[in-house]
């Protein structure tokens, strides 16, 4: 449905997009995740026709968009910096896209659509108010509503929940995908929040330095991250990455020999690697391969506790139920376990970039 082929775009000396390739399927909710400056907004603007790529092709439904004006592309884009009419009511802001010659709807139908979207976004009671008098979060929902209200062949949403407080954001995140218009329409959703990407995306594309480095479902990105940087981007607390080498029997050993793990590395002995274990895959009680260390620090995270453990010269974090951590104090000896099947293995990070994932034997 949306196809980007070798898109490059520079602003003077800054390369924003560098041969970007992307495919979003018909009806899919696709998240584009990346840090600030990775090229997310430029990607959306290029699809919408607001930026012209230096090279490459934008396809919508297989049709080359070169020379097609933004208005004629049939995509609806919501910017992070939303443009609304401050003196007009929320209702008029929502209804105005339906008054344009292209989308003009019979008045009763337009009214129904505006009310339905406003209710879903939780702004039904604000419709009579001028948007200039609304809070940032309320204005952001009006801006999102302006996009969702009109029929489009694709929605392009640029961090549409960024101005909401954490609670509302979580609630809206849950509701957004349930909105009929969103369910029916191909949606490309930009975020720098990995929790949001995993929660919303049918698939997620990870963008870095103007290129897509990995595309996959949440399971693929979680269990088979392409490299250490993708692994670090998903999960809080972050994945533990311990440096060491591959042993003769395909195991892992840390430089001080204090951490040995049966990783079944498909790499020659002596290879410098990083072993990855997510904090939730380490346990204080479950059966598994055992490691011994001492408590460094504990921090309560609601119902669970993050425990940082010293293992020889390294630290690892684990997240355990509160009951498992009662009485733990700094410097207490502690035994932790890991299930070998949950371990990830990567080449060591190098000057060429983050270490790639290594398969298992
Ligand atoms: N109009 C512009 N003029 C000059 N440089 C620009 C322009 N727009 C974008 N850039 C640069 O291109 C790069 C990519 O920007 P882009 O806005 O696409 O990133 P982003 O991933 O959306 O970041 P953010 O999450 O901060 O919005 C950045 O280095 C940015 O500074």
Q: In what order do the strands lie in the sheet with 252-253?
A: 260-261, 252-253, 240-246, 272-277, 344-347
Residues 110 and 225 reside in one and the same domain: yes
Residues 135 and 58 reside in one and the same domain: yes
Give residue 162's Cα distance to chain centre: 13
- CA-wise closest residue to 75 among 115, 35, 43, 113: 43
- Average pLDDT of the residues in 24-42: 95
Out of 175, 198, 231, a domain closes at 231
Q: For residue 352, is it within any domain?
A: no
Mutate to test the pocket of ligand 1, among 11, 51, 54 (most ligand atoms within 8 A of CB): 11
Out of 173, 199, 231, a domain closes at 231
- CA–CA gap between residue 242 and residue 252 (Å, rounded): 10
- Over residues 306-335, the pLDDT tens digits come to 999 999 889 999 999 999 998 899 999 999
Q: What percent of the chain has pLDDT over 70?
A: 99
Residues 172 and 299 reside in one and the same domain: no
- CA–CA gap between residue 198 and residue 202 (Å, rounded): 8
Mutate to test the pocket of ligand 1, among 10, 38, 197, 209 (most ligand atoms within 8 A of CB): 38
> What pLDDT is recorded for position 81?
62
- Residue nearest atom 31 of ligand 1, based on CA coordinates: 37
> What pLDDT is recorded for position 130?
94
pLDDT band, very low/low/confident/very high, at 32 (cuts 50, 70, 90): very high
pLDDT band, very low/low/confident/very high, at 82 (cuts 50, 70, 90): low
What does the chain come to in residues?
361
Q: For residue 361, is it within any domain?
A: no
Interface ipTM: 0.95
> What pLDDT is recorded for position 209?
95
Residues 251 and 203 reside in one and the same domain: no
Residues 119 and 150 reside in one and the same domain: yes
Q: For residue 353, is it within any domain?
A: no
> What pLDDT is recorded for position 183?
79
CATH number at residue 270: 2.40.50.140
Structure tokens at 265: 């590395």
| Helix axes 136-148 and 107-120, enclosed angle (nearest 10) | 130
> What pLDDT is recorded for position 179?
79
CATH number at residue 57: 3.40.50.300
The answer to whether residues 146 and 131 touch, using CB atoms and an 8 Å cutoff, is no
Q: For residue 338, is it within any domain?
A: yes
Q: Is the CB of 187 under 6 A from ligand 1?
A: no
Residues 9 and 75 reside in one and the same domain: yes
Residues 89 and 221 reside in one and the same domain: yes
Whether the predicted pLDDT of 294 surpasses 70: yes
- CA–CA gap between residue 94 and residue 74 (Å, rounded): 18
Number of Cβ within 10 Å of residue 294's Cβ equals: 12
Whether the predicted pLDDT of 287 surpasses 70: yes
Out of 179, 204, 231, a domain closes at 231
Q: For residue 300, is it within any domain?
A: yes
Q: For residue 245, is it within any domain?
A: yes
Residues 180 and 270 reside in one and the same domain: no
Higher pLDDT, 221 or 183: 221
> What pLDDT is recorded for position 236?
86
- Over residues 250-261, the pLDDT tens digits come to 999 999 998 999
- CA–CA gap between residue 311 and residue 252 (Å, rounded): 14
Single pTM value for the model: 0.90
Q: What is the mean pLDDT of the chain?
A: 92
Residues 43 and 192 reside in one and the same domain: yes
Residues 222 and 260 reside in one and the same domain: no
Q: Is the CB of 192 under 6 A from ligand 1?
A: yes
Beta strands in 209-341 (DSSP E): 211-216, 240-246, 252-253, 260-261, 272-277, 282-283, 289-301, 304-311, 314-321, 333-338
Please count the structural domains in the chain: 2
Q: For residue 356, is it within any domain?
A: no
- CA–CA gap between residue 158 and residue 97 (Å, rounded): 18
Q: For residue 360, is it within any domain?
A: no
Residues 135 and 103 reside in one and the same domain: yes
Highest-confidence segment of 9-23, 102-116, 133-147, 346-360: 9-23
- Over residues 210-241, the pLDDT tens digits come to 999 999 999 999 999 999 999 999 988 999 99
**Domain span holding position 46:** 2-231
């Amino acid at each position: 449905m949306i196809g980007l082929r070798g898109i490059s775009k520079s602003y003077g000396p800054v390369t924003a997009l560098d041969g970007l390739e992307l495919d979003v399927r018909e009806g899919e909710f696709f998240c584009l995740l990346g840090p600030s400056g990775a090229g997310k907004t430029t990607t959306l603007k290029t699809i919408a026709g607001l930026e012209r790529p230096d090279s490459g092709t934008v396809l919508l439904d297989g049709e080359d968009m070169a020379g097609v004006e933004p208005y004629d592309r049939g995509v609806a884009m919501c910017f992070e910096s939303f443009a609304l009419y401050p003196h007009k009511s929320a209702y008029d802001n929502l209804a105005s896209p339906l008054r344009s010659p292209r989308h003009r709807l019979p008045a009763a139908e337009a009214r129904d659509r505006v009310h339905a979207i406003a209710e879903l976004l939780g702004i039904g009671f604000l419709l009579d108010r001028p948007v200039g008098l609304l809070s940032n979060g309320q204005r952001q929902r009006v801006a999102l509503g302006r996009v969702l209200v009109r029929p489009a062949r694709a929605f392009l949403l640029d961090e549409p929940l960024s101005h909401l407080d954490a609670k509302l954001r979580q609630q809206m995140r849950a509701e957004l995908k349930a909105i009929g218009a969103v369910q029916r329409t191909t949606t490309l959703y930009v975020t720098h929040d990995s929790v949001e990407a995993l929660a919303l995306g049918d698939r997620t594309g990870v963008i870095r330095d103007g290129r897509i480095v990995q595309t996959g479902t949440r399971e693929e990105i979680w269990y088979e991250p392409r490299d250490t940087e993708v692994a670090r981007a998903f999960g809080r607390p972050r994945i533990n990455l311990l440096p060491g080498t591959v042993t003769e029997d395909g195991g892992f050993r840390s430089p001080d020999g204090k951490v040995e793990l049966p990783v079944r590395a498909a790499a020659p002995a002596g290879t410098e690697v990083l072993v990855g274990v997510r904090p939730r895959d380490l346990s204080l009680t479950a059966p598994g391969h055992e490691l011994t260390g001492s408590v460094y620090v504990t921090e309560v995270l609601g119902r669970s506790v993050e425990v940082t453990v010293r293992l020889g010269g390294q630290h690892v974090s684990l997240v355990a139920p509160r009951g498992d951590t009662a009485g733990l104090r700094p410097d207490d000896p502690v035994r932790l376990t890991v299930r070998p099947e949950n371990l990830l293995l990567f080449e060591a990070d190098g000057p060429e970039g983050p270490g790639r994932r290594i398969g298992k034997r």
